[in-house]
Amino acid sequence: MYRPAPSLPVRAAALLAALALPLLLAPPVEAGKRDYVDGQYGFQIKLPHKGNWSQTPTQPGEQVEVAKFKDDRKGDFSTLDIFRFASAQASGPTTPGSDPEGGAPEGEAPEIPPEYRGGRQTPDNAVDYFDAQAGRIARWCGLEWEGLPQPKQKKFGDVIGDIYVVEFQHTKYKGRRVGMLAGIVSDGEAEYLLLFQYQGKLKKMLIPWTQTLRSFRFAEGEVVQDAEETEKDLDKRNKTRKVDGELLDPEKRARVKADLKGTWRFIDTPHYLVVYNCDDPLAKYIAKRVEYMRKYAFETVFPPVAPIEECMIVRVCKEMDEYYHYGAPRGSAGYWSSGHDELVFPDLSRSKKPDEKTIGVMHHEAFHQYIHYALLKNNLPIWFNEGYAEYFFCVESTKAKLKFMKRHPMRYGTVKSALGSGDLIPLKDFIKMNQPQYYARSSLCYAQGWAFSTWMKNITKNERYREIPKIMFQEMQRGYLELQQGRTEGLGMGRGMNMYGEYNPVVQAAMKKAFEGIDLEKLDEDFKKDLKRKM
């Protein structure tokens, strides 16, 4: 995951959506259009009449959230998310005067690493789900959460549902407000949570947004999108230039393309599928650039043990708000999700031309994605993973011979300052850090990881030091290949152990081999000496 330097703006107060199954039959909502009709679950809703609402895709594997929309007006981060809960939890339509069910039990949610999305237990009904989301925002605001207020009962067509209004003001930052307006409605077979969120006072939005909630209708009969229109829509989304040879992994490509919604388009390359909602020129550059990085950077420096046969997915959001609404970890500028099997980042530039930060973040995340496949979908040490992602951030060449920026535009100042103050982490401790430890000091660790990786590959004249990353990578490949072929027992492919706790045996063995015979105190001394003189 790419974490920006502290100077990059970061929005807080996120709604962390649970994993969900993407819709396949719902016709897209184009920016500026009001009507949304869901062809899979059979409902429809009118979007607010003020604003320019566009549809944001749900993440791969979603099973609760079925549709999501965002107001694209600048400076107005408003969202509408629609969640569906299965019939086993639906209580049927409420009637006036009925006593609504209570919220989830009190208590703090467990601490979850920000990039880890799949482990949080999802409430299985609309009231508890909304209660959990509101409780997280209350705690972010420094408030105690006492549960949802009593709802007002309103008609949604012929069905009576509940409407909730919840507002928060941050206890420390008075200008930070979060408003939530929710409707819960059921047809007896499933219940739906319709959730508006706004970063500010809700007063001006309450009337039109309540009207939107009450425009929700259960469709009579099945609504199915015309297959011929689907093919035409897919053809309009296709911005692929001519590709020589066959495309890798056509089945996976077809599945991802079938889920595209709204104004999202795609570009096929030999090894990648780039899906995007940014400007076409940037997307075309990224499609070309990611193939370049794979051929001349990643595969050259860390060649795979066997050809990678899977298509890799790259998703480019049009800006930060869409990136966060899609489900990105707060405080990040890009991420690779092995669970969702896609690389995601936003266009960080205000112009249509490719900019240094956007392309650098793409380089960083594309390395995470590549190394995941190159190591047979297993884990690796955080210093290696993030350090070499930052190393490749700095590639600026366009030819076969790699050329690097001498100084990382977002990390150099941090590492030089830490060198002067004596705050650099001793390398004997640095290489043993797990992911939570690394992220706890992310600004320093990302900078030191870049410096250490760059020093071993490009700076030091000591041949033994230069061999460290090569040996480390080859030994991990060998160990994981033996696991895959069943020649080693008891590790279960090595996943999960080295992310948040102790490194797994494959990584430990590779680390031992890579640093064998090296005095770590001397290594640290030589690194700092060259850092002063040559970097």
One-letter amino acid for residue 367 of the chain: F
Whether residues 203 and 237 share a domain: the answer is no
Tokens of 436: 């939570």
Task: For 277-417, list the strands marked E by DSSP.
Answer: 312-317, 335-337, 342-346
Report the b/e string of 98-129 with b at 16+ CB within 10 A. eeeeebbeeeeeeeeebbebeeeeebebbbbb
Query: Is residue 10, in this structure, part of any structural domain at all?
Result: no
How far is Cα 17 from Cα 83, in angstroms, rounded to an integer?
A: 9
Whether residues 239 and 182 share a domain: the answer is no
Whether residues 203 and 239 share a domain: the answer is no
Burial of 481 (0-12, 13-18, 19+ CB in 10 A): middle
Among the candidates 199, 218, 237, a domain finishes at: 218
Q: Which run of H or of E encompasses 417? A: helix 412-421
Whether residues 455 and 525 share a domain: the answer is yes
Short-list 214, 204, 205, CA closest to 184:
214
Total residues found in the chain within this entry: 535
Whether residues 320 and 468 share a domain: the answer is no
Cβ pair 132, 150 in contact under 8 A: no
Query: Is residue 523, in this structure, part of any structural domain at all?
Result: yes
Tell me what pLDDT residue 18 has.
24
Burial of 212 (0-12, 13-18, 19+ CB in 10 A): buried
Note down the domain range covering 491. 412-534
Among the candidates 218, 242, 270, a domain finishes at: 218
Short-list 183, 149, 142, 163, CA closest to 45:
183
How far is Cα 85 from Cα 191, in angstroms, rounded to an integer?
A: 5
How many other CB atoms are there within 10 angstroms of residue 490's CB atom?
Answer: 6
CATH number of the domain bearing residue 193: 3.40.1000.10
How far is Cα 522 from Cα 373, in angstroms, rounded to an integer?
A: 34
Tell me what pLDDT residue 1 has.
75
Distance from the Cα of residue 452 to its chain's centroid: 27
Query: Residues with Cβ < 8 Å from 528, sequence gap 6 or more?
Result: 419, 424
Tell me what pLDDT residue 221 has.
59
Among the candidates 374, 403, 435, a domain finishes at: 374
Whether residues 368 and 505 share a domain: the answer is no
Whether residues 184 and 232 share a domain: the answer is no
CATH number of the domain bearing residue 293: 3.40.30
Rounded-to-5 percentages of helix, strand, coil across the chain:
35, 15, 45
How far is Cα 391 from Cα 32, in angstroms, rounded to an integer?
A: 42
Tell me what pLDDT residue 305 has.
86
One-letter amino acid for residue 311 of the chain: C
Query: Is residue 16, in this structure, part of any structural domain at all?
Result: no
How many other CB atoms are there within 10 angstroms of residue 177's CB atom?
Answer: 17
Whether residues 254 and 327 share a domain: the answer is yes
Query: Is residue 18, in this structure, part of any structural domain at all?
Result: no
Cβ pair 467, 456 in contact under 8 A: no
Query: Is residue 75, in this structure, part of any structural domain at all?
Result: yes
Tell me what pLDDT residue 516 has.
97
Whether residues 422 and 350 share a domain: the answer is no
Number of domains in the chain: 3
Short-list 106, 166, 115, 177, CA closest to 142:
177
Secondary structure of residue 38 in the 3-state scheme: strand
Query: Is residue 480, in this structure, part of any structural domain at all?
Result: yes
Whether residues 64 and 206 share a domain: the answer is yes
Query: Residues with Cβ < 8 Å from 487, sequence gap 6 or more?
Result: none
In the block, which residue shows the tokens 């509101």?
134
Whether residues 251 and 109 share a domain: the answer is no
pLDDT in tens, the chain (535 residues): 776 654 333 222 222 222 222 222 334 444 445 789 998 889 999 999 877 888 999 999 898 999 999 998 866 689 999 999 986 444 433 333 333 333 322 333 333 333 333 445 788 999 999 999 999 999 999 999 999 999 999 999 889 999 999 999 999 988 889 999 999 999 988 999 999 999 888 998 999 999 999 999 997 755 545 455 578 888 999 999 888 888 999 999 999 999 898 899 999 999 999 999 999 999 999 999 999 999 999 999 999 988 999 999 999 999 999 999 999 988 899 999 999 999 999 998 877 778 888 999 999 999 999 999 999 999 899 999 999 999 999 999 999 999 999 999 999 999 999 999 999 999 999 999 999 999 999 999 999 999 999 999 999 999 999 999 999 999 999 999 998 887 655 454 444 344 567 889 999 999 999 999 999 999 999 999 999 998 8
Q: What are phi and psi of 375, to 5 degrees?
A: -100, 25
Rounded to two decimals, the pTM is 0.82
How far is Cα 304 from Cα 127, in angstroms, rounded to an integer?
A: 48
Query: Is residue 395, in this structure, part of any structural domain at all?
Result: no
How far is Cα 51 from Cα 99, in angstroms, rounded to an integer?
A: 36
What sign for the dihedral angle of Cα 206, 207, 209, 213?
positive
One-letter amino acid for residue 498 of the chain: N
In the block, which residue shows the tokens 């499609």?
287
Tell me what pLDDT residue 13 has.
28
Query: Is residue 483, in this structure, part of any structural domain at all?
Result: yes
Whether residues 417 and 492 share a domain: the answer is yes
Tell me what pLDDT residue 353 has.
75
How far is Cα 54 from Cα 263, in angstroms, rounded to an integer?
A: 8
Short-list 202, 180, 151, 212, CA closest to 13:
180
How far is Cα 346 from Cα 283, in angstroms, rounded to an integer?
A: 11
Based on its alpha-carbon atoms, the radius of gyration of the chain, rounded to whole angstroms, reads 25
How far is Cα 494 from Cα 477, in angstroms, rounded to an integer?
A: 12
Cβ pair 184, 127 in contact under 8 A: yes
